[in-house]
Amino acid sequence: MSEDFLKDPLSLFSVKGKTAVVTGATGAFGALAAKVLSGAGANVVICANNATGLKKIAAECEALGGKVHIVAKRPNSEENCATIVNAATDRFKSLDILVVASGQNKVAKIVDQKAEDFLDVMDANVTQSWLMARAASRQMIKQGKGGKIVLMSSARGLLGHPAGYTAYCASKSAIDGITKALGCELGATGITVNALGPTVFRSPLTEWMFADDERGKTVRAGFLTRVPKGRLGEPEDLAGPLLFLSSKASDFYTGHILYADGGYTAG
C-alpha cells in the first residue's frame, strides 16, 4: 500500500480542479457549500429557482477565486436534473461532487396539516434528492472515476420533535435510508454517498434563536440543555465536515450520516 499521502496529508482534503454541483444554493447551507468549495478551488455549478439570489452567491464565490456557473432551476423533474448535470459537463467537462442542499419544511401539527403540504415537503426533501442523485450517479458512472454525493439530513432524521415536524422528520429519515442504500449500491463504483446531519446553526431562519431577547434566550437555554458542546452551531461548523465528505479523505466512508450537532444526537 502506498503511503505517499504522508508526504502531504492535507492533499487528502483537496477538491482543487474538481467540479461540484450545489442545489439549493441560495439557502443558508447551499450558499455556504458553494462558497466553501469555491474557496477550496473547485469549479461550482450553483442551482436554485431564484436567479437574482444565484447571481449574488456567484459573485461571492468568484471573489473567493472560484469558477462558477448558474443554473436557475430546482431539481424537481427529470428534465431539470439532466439540465443541471449537463451544465456541469458542458461547462467544466466533468461532474465530481454533488451537494443536494435544496429542501423545505412546513410546520404544522398532524391534525392541522394539509396532505398536500406533507407531500410537498416529501417531494422537495426526498424525491428531488433522489432524482438529483440518480442523474449525478449516471454521469459519474459514465466517467468511470468515482465521485462524491452529499445529501442533506438532519438530527430530525433520527429524533422526533414536538412542534409539528412529522413531514420534516419523515423526510430526513428517508434521506438517511437513501444514503445507506446508495452507499451499498454504488460502493463498488468508487462513488461515495453520505449525508450531513446538522442541528440548529446560524442562518437567516434561525437568527432569532441567537438573539438576546426574551424569546431567544428562553428557547436557546432549553435547547442547549441537550447540546453537550453548550452552544448553537455556526456555519464554519459545517464547512469541515462538508470538505471531508467532498474529498478523497472520505473515500472509505460511505452510507453514513455525519452529525454536525455539538453532540445533540449522542445524548
Q: Is 255 helix (H, G, I), strand (E, B) or coil?
A: coil
CA angle 10, 97, 247 (to 5 degrees): 15
Q: How many Å apart are CA 175 and CA 115, to the nearest integer?
A: 20
CB 7 within 8 A of CB 31: no
Residue 55 Rama label (left phi>0; alpha psi -120 to 50; beta): alpha
Q: Which residue has the cell 426533501?
A: 125
CB 133 within 8 A of CB 182: yes
Q: How many Å apart are CA 144 and CA 190, to the nearest integer?
A: 8
CB 187 within 8 A of CB 135: no
**Rg of the Cα atoms in the chain:** 18
What residue type is 165 in one-letter code? Y
What residue type is 193 in one-letter code? V
Active-site positions read 168
Q: Which residues pair with 52 in a beta bridge?
A: none
